[in-house]
Structure 1
Amino acid sequence: MLRAFIRSKSGLAVITGAGISTESGIPDYRGPKGSYRLGHKPVTYQEFLSNPIQRQRYWARSMKAWPIFSEARPSLPHIYLQKLESLGKIHYLITQNVDSLHHKAGSQNVLELHGKLREGICLSCKGIRDRTDIQSELEKKNPAWISKDSYTHDDPSLRADGDVEPQLQNQQYSTFLVPQCTCQSNAIMKPNVVLFGENCAKLVVDESFKIISQVPQSLLSSH
Protein backbone atom coordinates (compact mmCIF):
# COMPACT_ATOMS: atom_id res chain seq x y z
CA MET A 1 0.00 0.00 0.00
CA LEU A 2 2.80 2.41 0.88
CA ARG A 3 4.67 1.68 -2.35
CA ALA A 4 1.52 2.26 -4.36
CA PHE A 5 0.94 5.54 -2.55
CA ILE A 6 4.49 6.73 -3.26
CA ARG A 7 4.34 5.64 -6.91
CA SER A 8 1.19 7.67 -7.40
CA LYS A 9 2.62 10.83 -5.85
CA SER A 10 5.40 13.32 -6.45
CA GLY A 11 6.70 16.32 -4.56
CA LEU A 12 6.02 14.82 -1.13
CA ALA A 13 7.33 16.08 2.19
CA VAL A 14 8.50 13.27 4.49
CA ILE A 15 8.85 13.72 8.25
CA THR A 16 11.26 11.38 10.03
CA GLY A 17 12.07 10.65 13.66
CA ALA A 18 14.58 8.73 15.74
CA GLY A 19 13.40 5.29 14.65
CA ILE A 20 14.98 5.70 11.23
CA SER A 21 18.46 5.88 12.77
CA THR A 22 18.36 2.92 15.15
CA GLU A 23 19.60 0.61 12.38
CA SER A 24 22.62 2.91 12.16
CA GLY A 25 23.47 2.23 15.79
CA ILE A 26 22.03 5.43 17.23
CA PRO A 27 19.53 4.72 20.01
CA ASP A 28 16.17 6.43 20.18
CA TYR A 29 14.50 7.80 23.30
CA ARG A 30 11.26 5.86 23.60
CA GLY A 31 11.86 2.53 21.84
CA PRO A 32 12.33 -0.84 23.61
CA LYS A 33 16.03 -0.07 24.08
CA GLY A 34 15.60 3.70 24.12
CA SER A 35 17.44 6.09 26.38
CA TYR A 36 14.35 6.83 28.49
CA ARG A 37 13.71 3.14 29.15
CA LEU A 38 17.32 2.76 30.29
CA GLY A 39 16.93 5.64 32.73
CA HIS A 40 19.08 8.13 30.85
CA LYS A 41 18.34 11.76 31.68
CA PRO A 42 19.69 14.27 29.15
CA VAL A 43 20.86 17.68 30.28
CA THR A 44 18.23 20.41 30.05
CA TYR A 45 18.70 23.81 28.46
CA GLN A 46 18.44 25.61 31.79
CA GLU A 47 20.94 23.26 33.43
CA PHE A 48 23.38 23.77 30.58
CA LEU A 49 23.12 27.57 30.80
CA SER A 50 23.18 27.97 34.56
CA ASN A 51 25.52 25.25 35.80
CA PRO A 52 29.20 25.10 34.71
CA ILE A 53 29.49 21.53 36.00
CA GLN A 54 26.64 20.47 33.72
CA ARG A 55 28.48 21.98 30.75
CA GLN A 56 31.66 20.16 31.75
CA ARG A 57 29.68 16.95 32.16
CA TYR A 58 28.05 17.34 28.75
CA TRP A 59 31.26 18.07 26.84
CA ALA A 60 33.26 15.35 28.62
CA ARG A 61 30.69 12.73 27.70
CA SER A 62 30.29 14.14 24.20
CA MET A 63 34.05 14.01 23.62
CA LYS A 64 34.09 10.31 24.41
CA ALA A 65 31.04 9.50 22.27
CA TRP A 66 31.77 11.67 19.23
CA PRO A 67 34.15 9.20 17.51
CA ILE A 68 31.38 6.57 17.57
CA PHE A 69 28.52 8.93 16.76
CA SER A 70 30.32 10.59 13.86
CA GLU A 71 31.13 7.25 12.24
CA ALA A 72 27.46 6.21 12.02
CA ARG A 73 26.37 5.44 8.48
CA PRO A 74 22.94 5.88 6.86
CA SER A 75 20.47 3.04 7.21
CA LEU A 76 18.55 1.50 4.31
CA PRO A 77 15.57 3.82 4.98
CA HIS A 78 17.88 6.86 4.73
CA ILE A 79 19.20 5.61 1.40
CA TYR A 80 15.72 4.75 0.12
CA LEU A 81 14.45 8.24 0.92
CA GLN A 82 17.41 9.77 -0.90
CA LYS A 83 16.59 7.69 -3.98
CA LEU A 84 12.98 8.82 -3.84
CA GLU A 85 14.19 12.42 -3.67
CA SER A 86 16.39 11.89 -6.73
CA LEU A 87 13.34 10.53 -8.58
CA GLY A 88 11.28 13.59 -7.69
CA LYS A 89 8.93 11.67 -5.41
CA ILE A 90 10.14 13.62 -2.39
CA HIS A 91 10.82 17.35 -2.44
CA TYR A 92 11.54 17.89 1.25
CA LEU A 93 12.66 15.94 4.28
CA ILE A 94 11.81 17.28 7.72
CA THR A 95 13.63 15.43 10.48
CA GLN A 96 13.63 15.55 14.25
CA ASN A 97 17.03 13.85 14.26
CA VAL A 98 20.33 15.60 14.95
CA ASP A 99 22.60 12.91 13.49
CA SER A 100 22.90 14.32 9.93
CA LEU A 101 22.41 10.85 8.44
CA HIS A 102 20.02 12.19 5.80
CA HIS A 103 22.85 14.45 4.63
CA LYS A 104 25.30 11.54 4.66
CA ALA A 105 22.85 9.57 2.52
CA GLY A 106 22.92 12.38 -0.04
CA SER A 107 19.52 14.00 0.53
CA GLN A 108 19.56 17.66 -0.46
CA ASN A 109 16.44 19.37 0.88
CA VAL A 110 16.60 18.53 4.58
CA LEU A 111 15.18 20.66 7.37
CA GLU A 112 16.63 19.66 10.75
CA LEU A 113 14.00 20.73 13.28
CA HIS A 114 16.15 20.06 16.34
CA GLY A 115 19.49 21.18 14.93
CA LYS A 116 22.64 19.23 14.21
CA LEU A 117 25.30 17.67 16.42
CA ARG A 118 27.87 18.20 13.69
CA GLU A 119 28.08 21.83 14.82
CA GLY A 120 28.59 23.88 17.94
CA ILE A 121 27.27 27.41 18.44
CA CYS A 122 28.60 30.24 20.59
CA LEU A 123 25.76 31.73 22.62
CA SER A 124 27.48 35.14 22.67
CA CYS A 125 28.45 35.84 19.05
CA LYS A 126 26.29 33.08 17.45
CA GLY A 127 29.34 31.84 15.58
CA ILE A 128 29.19 28.25 14.30
CA ARG A 129 32.02 25.75 14.72
CA ASP A 130 32.40 22.35 13.15
CA ARG A 131 32.10 19.57 15.72
CA THR A 132 35.29 17.94 14.40
CA ASP A 133 37.18 21.15 15.20
CA ILE A 134 35.64 21.19 18.68
CA GLN A 135 36.70 17.58 19.16
CA SER A 136 40.30 18.47 18.36
CA GLU A 137 40.20 21.30 20.91
CA LEU A 138 38.69 19.06 23.59
CA GLU A 139 41.25 16.31 23.11
CA LYS A 140 44.12 18.81 23.14
CA LYS A 141 42.86 20.43 26.35
CA ASN A 142 41.96 17.18 28.11
CA PRO A 143 44.57 14.53 27.25
CA ALA A 144 43.85 12.60 30.46
CA TRP A 145 40.24 12.21 29.35
CA ILE A 146 40.95 10.76 25.92
CA SER A 147 39.01 7.56 25.98
CA LYS A 148 40.77 4.26 26.47
CA ASP A 149 37.35 2.71 27.00
CA SER A 150 36.02 0.43 24.31
CA TYR A 151 32.63 1.61 23.02
CA THR A 152 30.60 0.22 20.13
CA HIS A 153 27.41 1.31 18.38
CA ASP A 154 25.36 -1.21 20.35
CA ASP A 155 26.88 -0.23 23.70
CA PRO A 156 24.10 0.55 26.23
CA SER A 157 26.27 3.44 27.46
CA LEU A 158 25.67 5.30 24.18
CA ARG A 159 22.93 7.91 24.46
CA ALA A 160 20.40 9.12 21.93
CA ASP A 161 21.70 12.67 22.28
CA GLY A 162 25.23 11.78 21.20
CA ASP A 163 27.05 11.27 24.47
CA VAL A 164 28.14 8.27 26.50
CA GLU A 165 28.38 7.30 30.15
CA PRO A 166 32.16 7.39 30.76
CA GLN A 167 33.85 4.82 32.93
CA LEU A 168 35.16 7.39 35.39
CA GLN A 169 37.99 6.48 37.68
CA ASN A 170 40.08 9.36 38.99
CA GLN A 171 38.66 12.00 36.68
CA GLN A 172 36.00 14.39 37.91
CA TYR A 173 33.88 16.58 35.67
CA SER A 174 35.13 19.71 37.46
CA THR A 175 38.57 19.14 35.94
CA PHE A 176 37.31 19.02 32.36
CA LEU A 177 38.08 22.01 30.11
CA VAL A 178 35.18 22.93 27.83
CA PRO A 179 35.45 24.39 24.31
CA GLN A 180 35.69 28.15 23.97
CA CYS A 181 34.91 30.76 21.35
CA THR A 182 37.50 33.37 20.40
CA CYS A 183 34.95 36.19 20.83
CA GLN A 184 35.35 36.29 24.64
CA SER A 185 36.79 34.07 27.34
CA ASN A 186 33.53 33.41 29.18
CA ALA A 187 31.38 32.71 26.12
CA ILE A 188 29.33 29.52 26.35
CA MET A 189 29.76 27.02 23.53
CA LYS A 190 26.69 24.84 23.08
CA PRO A 191 25.97 21.94 20.73
CA ASN A 192 23.90 23.35 17.87
CA VAL A 193 20.85 21.32 18.82
CA VAL A 194 17.63 22.00 20.69
CA LEU A 195 18.21 20.79 24.23
CA PHE A 196 15.38 19.58 26.44
CA GLY A 197 13.41 22.59 27.66
CA GLU A 198 14.66 24.78 24.80
CA ASN A 199 12.40 26.12 22.06
CA CYS A 200 12.95 25.40 18.40
CA ALA A 201 14.09 28.48 16.50
CA LYS A 202 11.09 30.39 15.12
CA LEU A 203 12.64 30.54 11.65
CA VAL A 204 12.93 26.75 11.58
CA VAL A 205 9.35 26.25 12.78
CA ASP A 206 8.06 28.76 10.22
CA GLU A 207 10.01 27.00 7.48
CA SER A 208 8.50 23.64 8.41
CA PHE A 209 4.96 25.05 8.17
CA LYS A 210 5.84 26.68 4.85
CA ILE A 211 7.06 23.36 3.46
CA ILE A 212 3.93 21.51 4.58
CA SER A 213 1.74 24.18 2.99
CA GLN A 214 3.57 23.93 -0.34
CA VAL A 215 3.44 20.18 -0.95
CA PRO A 216 0.39 18.19 -2.08
CA GLN A 217 0.74 15.65 0.72
CA SER A 218 3.05 14.74 3.61
CA LEU A 219 4.22 11.33 4.79
CA LEU A 220 5.19 10.63 8.39
CA SER A 221 7.83 7.91 8.67
CA SER A 222 7.74 6.09 12.00
CA HIS A 223 10.60 3.78 11.04
Structure 2
Amino acid sequence: MMSEFLLPVPVLIIDHQSMTSKTVLFNILGDLGYPEDLITFSENLADAEQQIFNQLPNLIFLVVTQQSDISFIHKIKKIYPSSNLIILVNEQSADLTLHAIQLGATAYMLIQQPIEDTYNQLKTILRGGAALHPTFAKFLLSETFSPQNAAPKQLSLNPAEYQILDMVSHSATQEQMVNELKLSTYQIDGFVKNIYRKICSYS
Protein backbone atom coordinates (compact mmCIF):
# COMPACT_ATOMS: atom_id res chain seq x y z
CA MET A 1 0.00 0.00 0.00
CA MET A 2 1.33 3.45 -0.90
CA SER A 3 1.29 5.90 1.97
CA GLU A 4 -0.61 9.20 1.66
CA PHE A 5 1.86 10.95 3.94
CA LEU A 6 5.57 10.95 4.75
CA LEU A 7 6.26 8.11 7.17
CA PRO A 8 8.73 8.70 10.01
CA VAL A 9 11.09 5.71 10.16
CA PRO A 10 12.51 3.63 11.73
CA VAL A 11 9.88 2.70 14.32
CA LEU A 12 10.42 1.42 17.86
CA ILE A 13 7.58 -0.03 19.96
CA ILE A 14 8.37 -0.14 23.69
CA ASP A 15 6.05 -2.33 25.71
CA HIS A 16 7.87 -3.41 28.85
CA GLN A 17 4.61 -4.46 30.52
CA SER A 18 3.09 -6.54 27.69
CA MET A 19 0.02 -4.31 27.67
CA THR A 20 -0.52 -4.19 23.91
CA SER A 21 -0.97 -6.66 21.09
CA LYS A 22 2.21 -6.31 19.07
CA THR A 23 0.61 -8.12 16.15
CA VAL A 24 -2.27 -5.63 15.96
CA LEU A 25 -0.01 -2.57 16.04
CA PHE A 26 2.45 -4.20 13.64
CA ASN A 27 -0.37 -4.94 11.16
CA ILE A 28 -1.75 -1.40 11.42
CA LEU A 29 1.68 0.05 10.70
CA GLY A 30 2.02 -2.33 7.75
CA ASP A 31 -1.37 -1.24 6.38
CA LEU A 32 -0.22 2.38 6.61
CA GLY A 33 2.81 1.60 4.48
CA TYR A 34 5.56 0.82 6.99
CA PRO A 35 8.13 -1.80 5.86
CA GLU A 36 8.31 -4.56 8.47
CA ASP A 37 12.11 -4.47 8.56
CA LEU A 38 11.95 -0.89 9.86
CA ILE A 39 9.77 -1.78 12.87
CA THR A 40 11.45 -3.07 16.02
CA PHE A 41 10.14 -4.02 19.46
CA SER A 42 11.50 -3.80 22.97
CA GLU A 43 10.10 -5.30 26.17
CA ASN A 44 12.86 -3.90 28.37
CA LEU A 45 13.52 -0.23 29.12
CA ALA A 46 17.29 -0.69 29.26
CA ASP A 47 17.23 -2.38 25.85
CA ALA A 48 14.88 0.31 24.52
CA GLU A 49 17.26 3.04 25.67
CA GLN A 50 20.13 1.33 23.86
CA GLN A 51 18.05 0.93 20.68
CA ILE A 52 17.13 4.62 20.74
CA PHE A 53 20.79 5.55 21.16
CA ASN A 54 21.96 3.26 18.34
CA GLN A 55 19.11 3.55 15.82
CA LEU A 56 17.60 7.00 16.50
CA PRO A 57 14.04 5.89 15.65
CA ASN A 58 11.91 8.71 14.26
CA LEU A 59 8.69 7.19 15.61
CA ILE A 60 8.51 5.71 19.10
CA PHE A 61 5.52 4.09 20.79
CA LEU A 62 5.79 3.91 24.58
CA VAL A 63 3.32 2.17 26.90
CA VAL A 64 2.70 4.42 29.92
CA THR A 65 0.84 2.99 32.91
CA GLN A 66 2.70 4.47 35.90
CA GLN A 67 4.76 7.47 36.95
CA SER A 68 8.08 5.70 36.39
CA ASP A 69 7.17 5.38 32.70
CA ILE A 70 6.90 9.17 32.56
CA SER A 71 10.50 9.37 33.76
CA PHE A 72 11.60 7.34 30.75
CA ILE A 73 10.27 10.10 28.47
CA HIS A 74 13.03 12.32 29.90
CA LYS A 75 15.60 9.79 28.68
CA ILE A 76 14.04 9.51 25.23
CA LYS A 77 13.99 13.27 24.73
CA LYS A 78 17.52 13.64 26.06
CA ILE A 79 18.87 11.07 23.60
CA TYR A 80 16.75 12.12 20.62
CA PRO A 81 14.81 15.38 21.20
CA SER A 82 13.21 15.47 17.73
CA SER A 83 11.74 11.95 17.86
CA ASN A 84 7.99 11.55 17.38
CA LEU A 85 6.76 9.96 20.60
CA ILE A 86 3.29 8.42 20.84
CA ILE A 87 2.29 7.14 24.26
CA LEU A 88 -0.17 4.28 24.76
CA VAL A 89 -2.24 4.80 27.91
CA ASN A 90 -5.31 3.55 29.74
CA GLU A 91 -8.34 5.78 29.28
CA GLN A 92 -8.51 6.68 32.97
CA SER A 93 -4.85 7.79 33.14
CA ALA A 94 -5.55 11.43 32.27
CA ASP A 95 -2.92 12.76 34.69
CA LEU A 96 -0.20 10.57 33.15
CA THR A 97 -1.31 11.63 29.67
CA LEU A 98 -1.06 15.29 30.65
CA HIS A 99 2.43 14.90 32.10
CA ALA A 100 3.63 12.95 29.06
CA ILE A 101 2.43 15.67 26.66
CA GLN A 102 4.06 18.34 28.80
CA LEU A 103 7.34 16.43 28.57
CA GLY A 104 7.19 16.25 24.80
CA ALA A 105 4.94 13.35 23.76
CA THR A 106 3.63 14.07 20.27
CA ALA A 107 0.28 12.39 20.87
CA TYR A 108 -1.44 9.61 22.77
CA MET A 109 -3.61 6.61 21.92
CA LEU A 110 -5.61 4.30 24.17
CA ILE A 111 -4.34 0.81 24.94
CA GLN A 112 -7.79 -0.76 24.91
CA GLN A 113 -9.87 0.41 21.95
CA PRO A 114 -11.22 -0.99 18.68
CA ILE A 115 -8.60 -1.66 16.00
CA GLU A 116 -10.38 0.68 13.59
CA ASP A 117 -10.10 3.55 16.10
CA THR A 118 -6.37 2.93 16.55
CA TYR A 119 -5.89 2.87 12.77
CA ASN A 120 -7.80 6.13 12.21
CA GLN A 121 -6.12 7.91 15.13
CA LEU A 122 -2.66 6.93 13.95
CA LYS A 123 -3.49 8.26 10.47
CA THR A 124 -4.58 11.54 12.07
CA ILE A 125 -1.37 11.75 14.11
CA LEU A 126 0.83 11.04 11.08
CA ARG A 127 -0.95 13.87 9.23
CA GLY A 128 0.07 16.22 12.04
CA GLY A 129 -3.08 16.01 14.16
CA ALA A 130 -3.64 14.45 17.57
CA ALA A 131 -6.15 12.23 19.36
CA LEU A 132 -8.59 13.44 22.00
CA HIS A 133 -11.00 11.32 24.05
CA PRO A 134 -13.92 12.24 26.36
CA THR A 135 -12.16 11.36 29.63
CA PHE A 136 -9.06 13.43 28.81
CA ALA A 137 -11.18 16.30 27.47
CA LYS A 138 -13.16 16.42 30.74
CA PHE A 139 -9.90 16.37 32.67
CA LEU A 140 -8.51 19.30 30.67
CA LEU A 141 -11.68 21.33 31.17
CA SER A 142 -11.49 20.87 34.93
CA GLU A 143 -7.72 20.93 35.46
CA THR A 144 -5.94 23.99 36.84
CA PHE A 145 -2.52 24.40 35.28
CA SER A 146 0.14 25.86 37.54
CA PRO A 147 3.53 26.60 35.95
CA GLN A 148 6.46 26.70 38.33
CA ASN A 149 6.91 30.09 39.98
CA ALA A 150 3.62 31.38 38.57
CA ALA A 151 0.12 31.81 39.91
CA PRO A 152 -2.28 28.97 39.06
CA LYS A 153 -4.42 29.67 36.03
CA GLN A 154 -6.72 27.82 33.68
CA LEU A 155 -5.63 26.57 30.29
CA SER A 156 -6.28 29.51 27.97
CA LEU A 157 -8.49 28.33 25.10
CA ASN A 158 -9.96 30.33 22.25
CA PRO A 159 -13.72 29.85 21.58
CA ALA A 160 -13.24 27.18 18.88
CA GLU A 161 -10.80 25.18 21.02
CA TYR A 162 -13.16 25.34 23.99
CA GLN A 163 -16.13 24.23 21.87
CA ILE A 164 -14.18 21.27 20.49
CA LEU A 165 -12.95 20.26 23.94
CA ASP A 166 -16.47 20.58 25.36
CA MET A 167 -18.04 18.55 22.54
CA VAL A 168 -15.41 15.81 22.83
CA SER A 169 -16.02 15.68 26.59
CA HIS A 170 -19.65 14.88 25.75
CA SER A 171 -18.57 12.12 23.33
CA ALA A 172 -19.32 14.03 20.13
CA THR A 173 -17.97 12.41 16.98
CA GLN A 174 -15.79 14.30 14.54
CA GLU A 175 -18.64 14.23 12.03
CA GLN A 176 -20.92 15.90 14.58
CA MET A 177 -18.30 18.58 15.24
CA VAL A 178 -17.83 19.20 11.52
CA ASN A 179 -21.58 19.69 11.06
CA GLU A 180 -22.21 21.80 14.17
CA LEU A 181 -19.08 23.97 14.11
CA LYS A 182 -18.95 24.30 10.30
CA LEU A 183 -15.28 23.35 10.30
CA SER A 184 -13.38 20.87 8.16
CA THR A 185 -11.80 17.73 9.59
CA TYR A 186 -8.37 19.26 9.07
CA GLN A 187 -9.38 22.45 10.90
CA ILE A 188 -10.60 20.41 13.87
CA ASP A 189 -7.34 18.43 13.88
CA GLY A 190 -5.46 21.74 13.86
CA PHE A 191 -7.39 23.09 16.84
CA VAL A 192 -6.76 19.87 18.78
CA LYS A 193 -3.04 20.19 18.04
CA ASN A 194 -3.17 23.79 19.27
CA ILE A 195 -4.65 22.51 22.54
CA TYR A 196 -1.63 20.19 22.85
CA ARG A 197 0.72 23.13 22.29
CA LYS A 198 -1.01 25.11 25.02
CA ILE A 199 -0.69 22.15 27.39
CA CYS A 200 3.06 22.14 26.71
CA SER A 201 3.29 25.85 27.52
CA TYR A 202 2.18 25.03 31.06
CA SER A 203 4.91 22.46 31.67
Q: TM over 0.5, yes or no? A: no
Structure with greater helix percent: 2
Q: Normalized against structure 1, the TM-score is what?
A: 0.28
Normalised TM-score (structure 2)? 0.30
Greater RCO (Cα-Cα under 8 Å, separation 6 or more): 1
Larger Rg: 1
